[in-house]
Amino acid sequence: MSARLLDGRDLAKEREGGLAERVNRLKSRGIVPRLVVLLGERAKEGVYFRAKERVGARVGIAVEGISVSDGEGLLKELNLLASDPAVSGIMVEAPLPPGIDPAAVRDLLPPEKDVDGGGIRSLGRLVAGAPSFPPATAAAVIALLDGYGIDPVGKDVVIIGRSLVVGRPLALLFLNRDATVTVCHSRTRDIRSKTLEADIVCVAAGSPGLLKGDMIRPGAVVVDVGTNPTPSGLVGDVDSGSVAEVAGWLSPVPGGVGPLTTVILMEHVATAAERMGG
Binding site for ligand NAD (CB under 6 A): 137, 160-163, 165-167, 184-186, 188, 191, 204-207, 210, 225-228, 257-258, 261
Helix (H, G, I), strand (E, B) or coil at 86: coil
In this structure, which amino acid lies at residue 110?
Answer: P
Distances (CA, A) of 75 to 71, 94, 107, 141: 6, 16, 12, 32
CB 137 → ligand NAD: shortest distance, Å? Answer: 4
Residue 40 or 226 having the CB closest to ligand NAD? 226
CB 277 → ligand NAD: shortest distance, Å? Answer: 28
Q: Which of 51, 46, 52, 38 is nearest to 103 (CA)?
A: 38
Any alpha helices (H) in the chain, and if so which ranges?
A: 8-28, 47-59, 71-83, 102-107, 120-128, 136-147, 167-176, 191-195, 240-246, 257-276
Residue 180 forms beta bridges with which residues? 156
Residue 43 or 160 having the CB closest to ligand NAD? 160
CB 167 → ligand NAD: shortest distance, Å? Answer: 6
Q: Which of 125, 99, 118, 228 is nearest to 165 (CA)?
A: 118
Torsion sign across C-alpha atoms 82, 165, 92, 264: negative
Q: Per-residue b/e over 152-171, b at no fewer than 16 CB within 10 Å?
A: beebbbbbbbbbebbbbbbb
Residue 48 or 175 having the CB closest to ligand NAD? 48
CB 142 → ligand NAD: shortest distance, Å? Answer: 13
CB 88 → ligand NAD: shortest distance, Å? Answer: 21
Residue 160 or 215 having the CB closest to ligand NAD? 160
Residue 88 or 163 having the CB closest to ligand NAD? 163
Residue 121 or 162 having the CB closest to ligand NAD? 162
CB 262 → ligand NAD: shortest distance, Å? Answer: 8
